[in-house]
Amino acid sequence: MSIADSWRIEKTSRPEPELSAVLDSFITAMRREEPRVLGFPGNLDFSYSHLAGLLDVFVNNVGDPGSREKSDVNSKSMERAVVEFVAELANADPVQTYGYVTSGGSEANLFGLDRGVTVLPEARIYASAAAHYSIHKIARLMNKELVVVDCDDDDRLNPKALERLCRSDAGRGAVVVATIGTTMTGAIDDVALLSQAAAAAGDVYVHLDAALGGLLVPFLGEERSWGFACPSVGSLAISMHKALGMPVPCAIALCRTQLVDDHVRGEYVGATDNTLGCSRSGLAAALLWYALAGKGRVGLAAQARSALDTAKYAAKQLADIGCNPVLQPRSIIVVFDRPPEWVCRKYHLATQSDRAHVITVPHVTRDIIDSLCRDIGGTKR
Ligand SMILES: *Cc1c(COP(=O)(O)O)cnc(C)c1O
């Protein structure tokens, strides 16, 4: 790919006003599109610009959030508060739960699956055909076999199919990825049923990929039964730049405390470190603390319910114009017939063969849904 002149980095320094002007036009272009970004799970309704002071300090959370490393220039006190809050949302006992802020959902999935295959080294990894592609990458990196299990008609991992496959693995155990909000439809796997089904292989370790749904399901029914309430669940991943809204990608990885240890990893840093990296973004942890403390459980619940209402509204409007929408229970993803290409592009829709979807994260308004429906309706006349 060629590099446009405005982006090229020259041998000599460029004047600050020129650089700012280039960036300002970048920001303006991004913001212009925002209201019409309907196909992706990132909530764009946020503002952190008054926290710009954080951009003038280097905040590096090396090692475990609970470990004090030598450099001691970190936001770990905020990170611990974030982890405790999210652990409670996930029905974990904060004292019995380890967690940290990762670079994104994929790293949080890698962390959880690494714990799972450590506990059950003979086990294969099972995930549904609708699981996120990061699971495939992770299995490849771990040199582990990934068994792809069929979905039922509602895009959920089919427990009967899982049981059949696990029966031939009797004695090896099973590491199962349950998806809490699949990427295309937002479907939520039934963790209790999957755990039962996988027991045909022996011991069961379940990792929850709640990258998409982790800040929604705690508020949309079954708040007490999801997450670590199920004893076979060992770990959980939740992306924080999706429902919450963040200017940088980040996620939370959680696991049961007995799955980590407290060895100091390297005299150089002097920290205990069960994370997958070394340096980690203290900026992300500070912004997360600010966002979560500002909303609280009550604010998150209101946001989740409002997103669900907008999804139901979108499904109704799309049905009225004959687009065959499908909305899974407790999902904010509406899947419908793929409109003409210019509509997909105008509204940044995600598409898969003859279907498209919108995700009603908080910046998606009813007005913009109406506008989408008008544009689709116009093409049908
Ligand atoms: C978004 C998503 C991921 C990946 O998370 P990133 O934060 O983008 O790395 C994994 N699984 C599911 C189900 C997702 O929706």
Backbone angles phi and psi of 145, in degrees to 5: -80, 130
What value does the mean pLDDT take over residues 147-172? Answer: 97
Separation of 213 CA from ligand 1 center, angstroms? 10
The alpha carbon of 358 and the centre of ligand 1 are apart by a number of angstroms equal to 16
- Give the Å distance between the CA of 54 and the centre of ligand 1: 26
Place of tokens 């002071």: 53
23-82, pLDDT tens digit by residue? 999 999 999 999 999 999 999 999 999 999 999 999 999 999 998 766 678 999 999 999
Ligand 1 geometric centre to CA of 217 (Å) = 16
Q: What share of the chain has pLDDT > 90, as a percent?
A: 90
Residue 251 in contact with ligand 1 by CB distance below 6 A: yes
Establish whether residue 132 lines the binding site of ligand 1, counting it when its CB lies within 6 angstroms of any ligand atom.
yes
Ligand 1 atom closest to Cα of residue 181: 13
Tell me: pLDDT of 85 over 90: yes
Instruction: Give the model's pLDDT for residue 71.
Output: 67
By CB atoms closer than 10 A (0-12, 13-18, 19+), residue 173 is buried
Residue 105 Cβ contacting ligand 1 at under 6 Å: yes
Residues 105 and 212: their CA atoms lie apart, in Å, by 9
On the CB side of 354, CA atoms within 13 Å amount to 3
What average pLDDT does range 112-124 have in this prediction?
Answer: 97
Strands of the chain (E only): list them. Answer: 97-102, 124-128, 146-149, 174-179, 204-209, 233-239, 251-256, 326-327, 333-337, 350-352, 355-359
Q: Is 173 in the pocket of ligand 1 (CB under 6 A)?
A: no
Phi, psi values for residue 369, rounded to 5°: -65, -45
Q: Is the CB of 209 under 6 A from ligand 1?
A: yes
pTM of the model: 0.96
State which of 101, 212, 359 you would mutate to test the pocket of ligand 1, scoring each by most atoms of that ligand within 8 A of its C-beta: 212
Residue 265: the pLDDT is 66
- CB-based contact 113:175 (threshold 8 Å): yes
Transcribe 320-353 into DSSP letters: HTT---EE-TT--EEEEE---HHHHHHTT-EEET
Spatial distance between the Cα atoms of 302 and 169, rounded to a whole number of angstroms? 44
> What's the pLDDT tens digit per position in 259-310?
998 776 666 667 788 999 989 999 999 999 999 999 999 999 999 999 999 9
Calculate the average pLDDT of the chain: 95
pLDDT score recorded for residue 41? 95
Per-residue pLDDT tens digits for 193-236: 999 999 999 999 999 999 999 999 999 987 889 999 999 999 99
106 CA distance to ligand 1 centroid (A)? 6
| pLDDT class of 324 with cuts at 50, 70, 90 | very high
Strands 350-352 and 355-359: antiparallel
CA of 14 relative to ligand 1 center, distance in Å: 38
| CA gap 76, 94 in Å, rounded | 16
Instruction: Tell me, using a 6 A CB cutoff, whether residue 239 lines ligand 1.
Output: yes
Please tell me if the CB atom of residue 134 comes closer than 6 angstroms to any atom of ligand 1: yes
Cα–ligand 1 centroid distance for 138 (angstroms): 13
Rounded to the nearest angstrom, the distance between the alpha carbon of 119 and the centre of ligand 1 is: 24
